[in-house]
Amino acid sequence: MVALRKVETRPGFVFDVSVAGDPAAPLVLMLHGFGVSRHLWDAQVEALGQAGYFAAAPNQRGYSAGARPDPADLEQYRIGHMIQDAMDLVEALGHGGRRFHLVGHDWGGSLSWEIADRTPERLATLSMMSRPHPAAFTRAMRDDPEQPHRSRHHKGFLEPDAVPKLLADDAQWLRTRHALNGVPPAAVEKHLSVIGNTEAMEAALAWYRARGPGHRPTGPVTVPTLFVWGDKDDTVGRMAAEGTGDFVAAPYSFVELPGVGHYAPDQMPERVSALLLEHIAKYPA
C-alpha cells in the first residue's frame, strides 16, 4: 500500500513523499522529472514495497509546496541544491549510513547521473528512464540533426510568459504532450493535481532557468546501471540513447521499449516495475 509521508529534511523544507514497504528494508529512491510528479512512480513504489524494499518517491524541490523557495531566486534552484535534497531525503528516511538504489527520470535522471558520478560509493544500483548520460546527450546535440529539435522546448521554458502558456486552456500543452506519449488520462490528472497551478509551474520551470553554475562534466559512471528508453520518446533520440553505454564503466543493461514514449513508468507500469526489480535484485545494497 502506497502512503503519503511528509518528510522534513531541514527547517522550512518538507517534502511530499510516496512510500511503501518496511522503512528498515533497502531503500529505493525514485526521482521524477518535468511535467510529472511523485505519482509517476505510483505503480513502482507499490511493487517495490511488496517485493521487500523501502520505496520512496518525493515531489521534488518546488513541486512540494512545503519545499518551494521563491522561483524568482534562481540561486535556490541550482542543480547542487537538488542533489543535496536527494541526499538529505535519504538521511531523513533513515538510510544516511547505508547504500541505496537510485532511480531517475528526465530531470530526476539528470540529478541521478550526477549523484552516481560524485558519490558512487553510496549507490548499489542506478536505474534511468528516458535520460541519457550527459556526455551522450551532449554528443547527440552535436552530431544528431534531430536532437536539437527534440530539445527545443527547453528554450521555450525560458520565456517570461512560459507558465501562462503551459497552463492555458486547462493545461492543454501538457495534456496534449502526455497523451502523445501514452500517459493514461488518470495519471495526467494526478500530475496536474501537483503542477497544474502557477506557483508549482513557476518552480518547475526554475529548474531550467537556473541551469548553469553547478553543472560540470560527468565522467563514466561506475555503478551498475539500467537504462530504459522508449523508441517513441519525443525528447530523446536513438543516438543519445544508444550512446549512453559508452559512458558506463560498470555492468550495464540497455532496454528499448517499442512504441513507448517519454513516460514509460506511466505508460507501461508493469514492465517498468519488472525491469527495476530484476536489476536491483542483482546488486543488493
- How many residues are there in the chain? 285
CA distance 155 to 141: 14
Give the model's pLDDT for residue 214.
46
- The pLDDT > 70 percentage for the chain reads 98
Domain range for 15 is: 3-282
Nearest CA to 178 out of 7, 92, 170 is that of: 170
Write b or e for each residue in 245-259: b if 16 or more Cβ atoms lie within 10 A of its Cβ, otherwise e. Answer: eebbeeebbeeebee
| 94 phi-psi bin (left φ>0, alpha ψ -120 to 50, beta other) | left
Nearest CA to 1 out of 29, 24, 22, 30 is that of: 22
CATH number for position 10: 3.40.50.1820
Nearest CA to 21 out of 44, 148, 165 is that of: 44
Query: What is the reported pTM?
Result: 0.96
Residues 6+ apart with CB under 8 A from 52: 21, 22, 25, 26
What's the pLDDT tens digit per position in 199-241?
Answer: 999 999 999 999 864 456 788 999 999 999 999 999 999 999 9
Q: Nine-digit cell at 180?
A: 502523445
Count CB neighbours of 175 within 10 A: 18
pLDDT beneath 70: ranges in the chain: 212-216
Give the model's pLDDT for residue 190.
98
- Total domains, the chain: 1
Nearest CA to 36 out of 19, 60, 13, 17 is that of: 60
CA distance 203 to 101: 27
Q: Tell me which DSSP letter residue 26 carries.
A: P
Q: Nine-digit cell at 219?
A: 565522467
